[in-house]
Amino acid sequence: MSYSYTFWFAMAGLLLGHGFVGMGVGAIIGFVFDNLRYSQRRAATPQAGGYISPLFALLGAIAKSDGRVSEAEIATAERIMQRMGLDGDARQQAVQAFNQGKQPEFDVTGPINSLRQWAGLRRDHAFPLVDVVIETVLAEGSPSPEKMAILRQLAFALRISDMELMALMAMKGYVWQGAAGARGRAYGTGGGYVPPQRNTQGPDPYAVLGITRDADERVIKRAYRKLISEHHPDRLGDLPDEMRKRAEGRASEINAAYERIKAERGFK
């Protein structure tokens, strides 16, 4: 905890209060401000491991949502645990949460609310969470409407728009036929959803930036600046290593997409 406010208010009290009484009063006021700032920072900082149980419970619910948990979905959950470096008690916690999420009538509202609280208002923490969930949603290829519904519920809770969600999934190598201009319709669960096709030439750079191909230079630059400001590595704070790698990877994807568009359009 920093005591900068305590120091400076104490100095101000000493100068303005003409003595140690003023210094003491200033120090008390500054200490209150230091505590308030510390509390706000703590509230905005995700606690280590606080996302594991709700995340894996949600992954279990997604895997079971279409009626059966496949080997591909189990392998995906195992792979995520390994990349997160979970072992011992942490791994057991993740396995138990995944199995809990597979139970019939499991309510995803609880873990989604927990993940929202964990991420707070930090969009640079929200995107890596959604990225992990997308990996399970796409484990079998074309996702079912039930899986997409849970994914969209999580994205909405984390203040991630449909277009941003589309961009995240595009970076996994999936695009939507006729998705440009379709926006939220591409995610419909009642027939509006178009199964994704594997993009062998890499993610569509326009989808990565969440814009359409007819966007002008100003819109392109604005979209890029907004995204890169939210995903720049310098803003990641104490994000867990696995989440940090995902966020850094997304920043690289955003930069690469912008460079491809610049080269295609011929602007600087």
Task: Let me know the angle formed at the C-alpha of 189 by 186 and 194, rounded to the nearest 5 degrees.
Answer: 40
Question: Which pLDDT score is estimated for 65?
Answer: 94
**pLDDT above 50: residue 266:** yes
Lowest mean pLDDT among 79-83, 180-184, 197-201, 247-251: 180-184
Q: How confident is the model at residue 74 (pLDDT cuts 50, 70, 90)?
A: very high
Q: What is the average pLDDT score of the chain?
A: 77
pLDDT exceeds 50 at position 209:
yes
Return the pLDDT at 254: 83
pLDDT band at 136 (very low <50, low <70, confident <90, very high): very high
Q: What is the mean pLDDT of residues 12-18?
A: 70
The pLDDT of residue 29: 78
Res. 248: pLDDT tops 50: yes
Instruction: Give me 256's structure tokens.
Output: 């690469």
Are 139 and 253 contacting, i.e. CB atoms less than 8 angstroms apart?
no
In this prediction, residue 181 has a pLDDT band, given cuts at 50, 70 and 90, of very low
Residue 124's pLDDT is: 75
Whole-number pLDDT of residue 51: 86
Give the Å distances, CA to CA, from 96 to 76, 86, 99, 100.
Answer: 16, 13, 5, 6
Better pLDDT: 250 or 144: 144
pLDDT of amino acid 69: 93
Both tokens of residue 152?
Answer: 């969209």
**pLDDT given for residue 120 in this prediction:** 84
The average pLDDT across 173-186 equals 47
What average pLDDT does the segment 110-139 reach?
88
CB 204 within 8 A of CB 212: no
- Average pLDDT for residues 120-124, to the nearest whole number? 78
**175 pLDDT tier (thresholds 50, 70, 90):** low
Q: Over 90: is that where the pLDDT of 46 sits?
A: no
Report d(CA 186, CA 178) in Å as an integer: 8
Give helix 123-137 / helix 145-157 axis angle, nearest 10°.
170
- Give the rounded percent of residues in the chain with a pLDDT score beyond 90: 24
